Amino acid sequence: MRNFSYLRATSAAEAGQAAQQAGVMILAGGTTLLDLAKCGVSEPETVIDITHLSGMSGIAVDAAGARVGALARMSEVADHKDIRAAFPAVSESLALAASAQLRNMATIGGNLLQRTRCPYFRDPGAFSACNKRNPGSGCAAIGGVTRNHAVLGTSGSCIASYPGDLAVALVAFDAVVETDGRKVSVDDFFLAPSDTPDKETVLQRGEMITAITVPASAAARNSTYIKVRDRQSYEFAAASGAVGLELEADGRTVRDIRVAIGGVATRPWRARAVEQALVGKALDAELVDKASRLAMEGAVAHGGNHYKIELAPRVVARAILKMGGLA
């Protein structure tokens, strides 16, 4: 880790202005920034500390939905009784992420901005080719060990999978990212790699997340987040699913359904084809199994990650059946 300058911001405006300069990085919880700095991936010239800014850590839930400040801690949001009641999938996605120690430090804004941590990206000493670190250098993962890499949204420039859990739940329920200058849906906030995998979000230099809002819905209240991984804790998802379900009065016919998947794509992935196949239909196991396979439309395997094309639909089906009372 190289030496850097440190600035403790006194306001969001001061932090944003300072962050417009090249080589500047924002410090909130620091769980990703410090980790990547130790790996030699992030080498900031200046670190701007925003941890003590006021008005950015509140959690408010009402009939319209939830508003969560960017500096709210992951553990605080996961344990908030109103979040658990109105958005159980959001609470569960946070509770299943990282370790308790990290959840107590990491912020909601920082969680959304965590870098896609492919092993090749994390090891610049051994793998110089990484278009996320060094645009135009190539992708060492292609043709390499790919068990945990993406099968959806990939390009010839990058096949790294998005590692987060929270954003998957937020995409499912039409959440919005608020910055100091605009509002962007979470589904539009994250970018597919295309030819520029170093650009992971639509944030501009100096632009800072201030809050996340999630609209209330019956589907969000009846929701879950399921995460399958190689080991029970401290591991990214091999495949995950956020599902919310609202049924008609008959208790079987789907009025509204939300489905998003993680661990299998280069960004949080909304499975709209699955939703469209089930709206207006009476749920049964055979229909759910068939519809869930639509989540993998367009999937492309790269060697060792081929199992995800079978695993992800099973995770989705399991979540739908659970919410529909059929599992």
DSSP 276-312: HHHTTSBP-HHHHHHHHGGGGTT----GGGTTHHHHH
Residue 223 forms part of a structural domain = yes
- Does residue 42 surpass a pLDDT of 90? no
Task: Report the b/e string of 193-222 with b at 16+ CB within 10 A.
Answer: beeebeebbebeebbbbbbbbbebbebbeb
Residue 292 forms part of a structural domain = yes
Give pLDDT tens digits for 145-161.
999 999 999 999 999 99
Residue 235 forms part of a structural domain = yes
Domain that holds residue 292: 218-323
Residue 17 belongs to domain with CATH number: 3.30.43.10
Window from 33-42, 131-140, 242-251 with minimum mean pLDDT: 33-42
Q: Can you tell me which residue has the tokens 């998003």?
A: 260
- Does residue 215 surpass a pLDDT of 90? yes
- Does residue 233 surpass a pLDDT of 90? no
For all residues of the chain together, what is the average pLDDT?
Answer: 94
DSSP 158: B
**pTM of the predicted structure, to 2 decimals:** 0.95
Residue 65 forms part of a structural domain = no
Total domains present in the chain: 2
